[in-house]
A and B are shown apart, each in its own frame.
Chain A
Amino acid sequence: MKIEYYIVLSLALFCIGIAGVLTRRNAIIIFMCIELMLNAVNLLLVAFSKMHHVAEGAKNVAMAGIDGQLFVFFIMVVAAAEVSVGLAIIVMMYRNTHSVDVNFLNRLKH
Chain B
Amino acid sequence: MNAIVISAIWGVIMMFSGAFSKNLKTVRALSIVGIALLFVVNLLELYGTHLFTVDTKGMLQFDSFGLLFNAIAIGSTAVYFLLNGRDMEKVGLHVAEYYALIFFVLCGISIASSFSSLLMLFLAIEIISIPLYILTGADKRNLKSNEASLKYFLMGAFSTGIMLMGICLIFGAKGSFSIEQIALGDGTLTPMVGAGLLLLMFSLAFKVSAAPFHFWTPDVYDGAPTVFTSFMATIVKAGLFIAFIKLFGDAFGELHGQWQTLIAIITAATLIIGNLTAVFQQSVKRMLAYSSIAQAGFMLFSLVALNGMGREGLLYYTLAYSIPTIGIFAILVRMKDYTFEGFNGLAKHQPVLAAVTSIFLLSLAGIPATAGFMGKFYMLSAAIQNGHVMWLVIIGIICAAISVYYYFRVIQAMYFKEGDAQELETSSFHKGLLVLMAAFVIFIGIQPQWLLNQLYTFFS
Contact = CB atoms under 8 A, between A and B. Distances in A.
Our verdict on whether A and B bind, yes or no, reads yes
B168 A45 contact: yes
Among the interface residues A52, A55, A89, which one has the most CB atoms of the partner chain B within 10 A? Answer: A89
Among the interface residues B119, B134, B143, B175, which one has the most CB atoms of the partner chain A within 10 A? Answer: B175
A43 B159 CA distance: 18
A40 B162 CA distance: 11
A12 interface: no
Interface stretch (B144-152, B230-238, B267-275, B404-412): B144-152
A70 B172 CA distance: 14
A41 B160 CA distance: 11
Interface in A6-58: 7, 14, 17, 21, 27, 30-31, 34, 37-38, 40-41, 44-45, 48, 51-52, 55-56
B111 to A, nearest CB: 13
A68 B168 CA distance: 8
Contacts of B62: none
B146 A75 contact: no
B177 interface: yes
B175 A65 contact: yes
Given A85-B134, A107-B144, A108-B223, A102 B157 contact: no
Contacts of B12: none
A97 B176 CA distance: 46
A82 B172 contact: no
Contact of A68 (B146, B171, B220): B171
Interface in A65-110: 65, 67-68, 70-71, 74-75, 78, 81-82, 85-86, 89-90, 92-93, 96-97, 102, 105, 107-109
Nearest to A74: B119
Interface stretch (B122-130, B350-358, B364-372, B429-437): B122-130
Contacts of B154: 27, 30-31, 34, 86, 102
B222 A108 contact: yes
B171 A45 contact: yes
B163 to A, nearest CB: 9
Given A71-B119, A71-B167, A82-B157, A92 B147 contact: no
B218 interface: yes
A21 to B, nearest CB: 6
Contacts of A92: 137, 140, 146, 149
Q: What secondary structure prevails in chain B residues at the interface with A? A: helix
A37 B150 CA distance: 19
B138 to A, nearest CB: 11
A103 to B, nearest CB: 12
B151 A108 contact: yes
B147 A107 contact: yes
A101 B292 CA distance: 29
Interface residues of B, number: 39
A37 B172 contact: no
Nearest to B144: A107
A85 B153 contact: yes
A46 B130 CA distance: 26
Among the interface residues B134, B149, B165, which one has the most CB atoms of the partner chain A within 10 A? Answer: B165
Contacts of B168: 41, 44-45, 48
B141 interface: yes
A56 B174 CA distance: 11
Given A85-B130, A85-B134, A109-B219, A78 B122 contact: yes
Among the interface residues A52, A55, A102, A105, which one has the most CB atoms of the partner chain B within 10 A? Answer: A105
Interface string B170-206: 0110011100000000000000000000000000000
B164 interface: yes
A88 to B, nearest CB: 8
Contacts of A105: 147, 150-151
A15 B452 CA distance: 47
Among the interface residues B164, B177, B223, which one has the most CB atoms of the partner chain A within 10 A? Answer: B164
A96 B158 contact: no
A89 B158 contact: no
Given A81-B130, A85-B134, A97 B143 contact: yes
A73 to B, nearest CB: 10
B140 A51 contact: no
Contacts of B143: 96-97, 107
B223 A89 contact: no
Contacts of B147: 93, 105, 107-108
B175 A64 contact: yes
Contact of B158 (A34, A51, A68, A71): A34
Nearest to B224: A108
14 contacts: A7-B172, A27-B154, A37-B158, A37-B165, A38-B160, A41-B167, A64-B175, A75-B122, A85-B153, A86-B154, A90-B150, A93-B149, A102-B151, A107-B223
The 9 closest A-B pairs by CB, nearest first: A37-B161, A108-B219, A48-B172, A41-B164, A52-B175, A105-B147, A34-B157, A41-B168, A108-B223
Interface of B: 119, 122-123, 126, 130, 133-134, 137, 140-141, 143-144, 146-151, 153-154, 157-158, 160-161, 164-165, 167-169, 171-172, 175-177, 218-220, 222-223
Given A78-B126, A89-B133, A96-B146, 8 more contacts: A30-B154, A34-B157, A38-B164, A67-B176, A78-B123, A86-B153, A89-B150, A96-B140
